[in-house]
Structure 1
Amino acid sequence: MMIRLLDPTDAKQYATLRLEALKENPEAFSASFEEESEKENPIQLYEKRFSNTHYNLGAFDEETLVGMVSLVPETKLKLKHKANIFAMYVTPDYRGKGIGKALLEAAINQAKQIEGLIKINLAVVSINYGAKALYKQMGFETFGIDEKAIKIRNVYLDEEYMSLFLNKESRD
């Protein structure tokens, strides 16, 4: 298993895996399968995204993309000390093999390389116990709940907001 930053040549595989993620785990994303599948030129969109300030990491089995996570640093001057984790997903056949943890470790290590960054935030649907356990294992702590944050087929789901301080000094 190899974890690396995605580049524009990975855009097609990423688009396919993203649609799978939205279909398999709709509760885990604010975007919907329907919205995403109707986008024009998604591959060009991802090619562009993989060339800018987002850090999109992929887990590869040989040449096949099987997992992904995005680390997106804030760009506004007053918020540049923070980044956000988005689009964390591992395809079902590869779950339980440490790939999610490896992706998250790679994102955290990437964050530590960004000057001035002290904190990573993420949101996770409250019923995603596996993801929450992983995030807690990696040091993330819940700091808030967004009640009824997502609505899927007339069912409301809460989201937990979690954060990780990159070192002890940044928390004080």
Structure 2
Amino acid sequence: MQVTVLTPADAAAYRELMLEAYEQAPDAFTTTAAERRAEPEAWWIKRIGSAEGLGTCFGAWQEGRLVGTVAIEYSAKPKTRHGALILGMYVQAAQRGRGVGLALMQAAIAAAAARPEVLMLNLTLTEGNEPALRLYRSVGFVSWGTQPRAIRTDSGTDGGKDGSFKGKVHMSLALARG
């Protein structure tokens, strides 16, 4: 397995993997597969970003196939430039338990740590996702709160009266400096 920074040339593979993610783990994301399927190629290329820009996407490759991904979004605003957001983490089911998620998180943390202005990494995960919670804790993230009813997990056809919801657990990691 190899972890690399994704480039625009990887957009088709990234799109395919993320559409799988939205379908296979719908409760893990605040976006639906249908929403993302409608996005043009330019959106996916922008989402990939670049190692130097405000967004960087990493991919885990196994025998030439993209099997996992995670992204970082950096802030351009002076008052929030010290923080970055980890998002879009997904590893194919057949690759889980093999260190792919750990390698992706280590790459993301190292990339953020290489930017002197970034002092804190933040992420959210859906309540009840114990494997993700264990992974994030293993690399030093700490839970600090849960947003109740953060995502709707049913079709929403009842007009919001009796829907199923899950909370989002907020986690942070202070990057060591000096």
- 1:168, CA displacement in angstroms? 6.8
Query: What amino acid maps onto 1:158 in structure 2?
Result: G
Instruction: Please show how residues 1-172 of structure 1 align to structure 2 within 5 Å.
Output: 1-39=1-39, 41=40, 43-49=41-47, 50-51=49-50, 52-153=53-154, 154-167=163-176
Write out the 4+ residue segments of structure 1 that deviate beyond 6 Å after TM superposition. Answer: none
Equivalent position of 2:160 in the other structure:
none
Deviations 1:81-100 (A, max 9, x none): 00000000001111110100
Deviations 1:40-74 (A, max 9, x none): x2x22222333442110000012210000001111
Normalising by the residue count of structure 2, what TM-score does the alignment of the two structures yield? 0.90
How many pairs align? Answer: 167
Report the 3-state secondary structure (helix = DSSP H, G, I; strand = E; otherwise coil) of the residue aligned with 1:79.
coil
CA contact (8 A) 2:2 2:62 kept: yes
| Rounded Cα–Cα distance in structure 1 between residues aligned with 2:177 and 2:110 | 15
Shift of 1:162: 0.1
Q: Distance in 2 between matches of 1:47 and 1:159?
A: 27
Deviation sequence 1:77-120 (CA, Å, 0-9, x none): 10000000000000111111010000000000000111211000
TM-score by length of 1: 0.93
CA RMSD of aligned residues (A): 1.3
Gaps of 5+ in 1: none
C-alpha distance in structure 1 between counterparts of 2:31 and 2:71, whole Å: 14
Per-residue deviation at 1:36? Answer: 1.2
In the alignment, the residues of structure 1 paired with residue 96 and residue 167 of structure 2 have an alpha-carbon distance, to the nearest angstrom, of 23
SS of 2:76's partner is: coil
The answer to which structure has the higher helix fraction is 1
Equivalent position amino acid for 2:32 in 1: S
Q: Percent of counterpart pairs with the same letter? A: 34
Say if 1:105 and 1:168 are closer, same or farther in 2 by CA, change over 3 A. Answer: same
